[in-house]
């Protein structure tokens, strides 16, 4: 699983940072989370390509969704034919629909707007995208990308020693079925190890520290948490519905995540967020301050 940060600034772009957006690539699937103004240029700059069909919005503040207008226009000019699904918090579809209709001339593909309630998972076979309520704009969402548990390792050497012929019987055992070989019943657990965890990546969008984030981030491989302010601006963070770097780290620590990436930096820190990174690392050492173009690979833990 690969995450590419396309925009890491809060509220407005700076010389070195664009506003919020990131791409998640999971094997052959590609999805975008938030789409601030100028996102399409960032996609070209960092080579993510345009072969994706889902954009998930955390909320509809301008710095998180205005880029979808230019992006859809560009895809239309590229003669795209595949539908595009836009996913937005419950009660916000009409705002998104009006923006798209005002800003985008007729495009040669279907644009589908879907509203999501917290907990209403978007199921994709071997993984789910789970929205959860955050504390920011009243109807804001975070998202957890949660892979299903994987099959245990198949012990091929032991299977051969037990006289199990390669082929369909191996497949049945690997998928939990018992088989019969020369009058013996062989159970799956005889040759298959315990199931292995999938990966989990969590993106908060804009939010105060909150219980749903901690709950859905439990044991996550990567938590991407906003850190708009340093803790000296804690009162301002509360007033605007944002988090400090220290608060993001406290969430990561409480949830037992494995890595934390900070993003959504106020322009006052955007040119040099090292102070925010140090503040967070004092609480949670496995922290990085994201920057535009940063790529984070999320391997399987048993890789």
Domain count, the chain: 2
Which residues form the domain of 33?
Answer: 2-150+196-297
Least confident of 125-129, 143-147, 213-217, 267-271: 267-271
60 and 78: one domain?
yes
Please state, in angstroms and rounded to a whole number, the distance separating the CA atoms of residues 240 and 142: 17
Residues 86 and 15 in one domain: yes
- Looking at the structure, do residues 163 and 228 belong to the same domain, yes or no? no
Which of 167, 191, 215 is at the close of a domain? Answer: 191
- CA-based nearest residue to 143, from 156, 133, 158, 153: 133
Looking at 172, 191, 210, which one is the last position of a domain?
191
63 is catalytic: yes
CATH number at residue 134: 3.60.15.10
Q: On the CB side of 246, how many CA atoms lie within 13 Å of its CA? A: 8
The 10s digit of each residue's pLDDT in 178-223 is: 999 988 998 989 988 999 999 999 999 999 999 999 999 999 999 9
Q: CA-CA distance, 77 to 176, in Å (whole number)? A: 49
> Above 90 in pLDDT, residue 40?
yes
Residue 107 inside a domain? The answer is yes
pTM equals 0.93
For residues 112 and 63, state if they share a domain. yes
Q: Which candidate in 63, 206, 221, 292 is catalytic? A: 63
* 302, part of any domain: no
| 49, 165: one domain | no
Instruction: Kindly state the tokens that stand for 215.
Output: 């709950």
Q: Say if residue 142 is in the same domain as residue 42.
A: yes
Same domain, 42 and 132: yes
Claim to verify: residue 186 and residue 275 sit in the same structural domain: no
Residue 303 lies in a domain: no
- How far apart are alpha carbons 69 and 103 in whole angstroms? 6
Q: Are residues 163 and 139 in the same domain?
A: no
The closest of 266, 136, 108 to 210, measured between CA atoms, is 136
Phi-psi group of 161: left, alpha or beta (phi > 0 → left; psi -120 to 50 → alpha; rest → beta): alpha
pLDDT exceeds cutoff 70 at 303: no
Q: In terms of domains, do 81 and 122 share one?
A: yes
Mean pLDDT in the chain?
95
Q: Are 89 and 170 in the same domain?
A: no
Nearest Cα to Cα of residue 122 among 85, 93, 97: 85
Tokens of 267: 């322009």
In a domain, 230, yes or no: yes
Q: How far apart are CA 2 and CA 47, in angstroms?
A: 13
Q: 283 and 174 in one domain? A: no
């Amino acid at each position: 699983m690969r995450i590419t940060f396309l925009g890491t600034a809060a509220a407005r772009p700076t010389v070195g940072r664009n506003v919020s957006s990131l791409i998640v690539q999971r094997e052959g699937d590609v999805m975008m989370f938030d789409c601030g103004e100028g996102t399409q240029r960032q996609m070209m700059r960092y080579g993510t390509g345009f072969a994706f069909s889902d954009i998930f919005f955390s909320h509809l503040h301008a710095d998180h969704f205005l880029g979808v207008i230019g992006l859809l226009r560009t895809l239309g000019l590229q003669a795209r034919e595949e539908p595009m699904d836009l996913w937005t918090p419950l009660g916000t579809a009409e705002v998104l629909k009006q923006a798209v209709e005002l800003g985008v001339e007729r495009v040669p593909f279907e644009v589908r707007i879907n509203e999501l309630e917290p907990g209403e998972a978007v199921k994709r076979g071997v993984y789910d995208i789970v929205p959860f309520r955050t504390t920011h704009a009243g109807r804001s969402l975070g998202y957890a990308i949660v892979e299903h548990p994987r099959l245990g390792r198949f012990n091929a050497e032991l299977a051969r020693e037990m006289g199990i012929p390669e082929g369909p019987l191996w497949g049945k055992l690997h998928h939990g079925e018992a088989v019969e070989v020369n009058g013996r019943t062989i159970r799956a657990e005889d040759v298959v190890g315990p199931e292995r965890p999938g990966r989990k990546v969590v993106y908060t969008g804009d939010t105060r520290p909150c219980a749903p984030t901690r709950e859905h981030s439990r044991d996550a491989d990567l938590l991407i948490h906003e850190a708009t302010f340093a803790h000296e601006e804690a009162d301002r963070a509360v007033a605007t519905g944002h988090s400090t770097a220290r608060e993001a780290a406290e969430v990561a620590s409480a949830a037992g995540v494995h890595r934390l990436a900070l993003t959504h930096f106020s322009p006052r820190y955007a040119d040099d967020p090292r102070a925010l990174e140090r503040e967070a690392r004092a609480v949670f050492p496995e922290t990085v301050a994201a920057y535009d173009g940063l790529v984070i690979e999320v391997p399987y833990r048993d890789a």
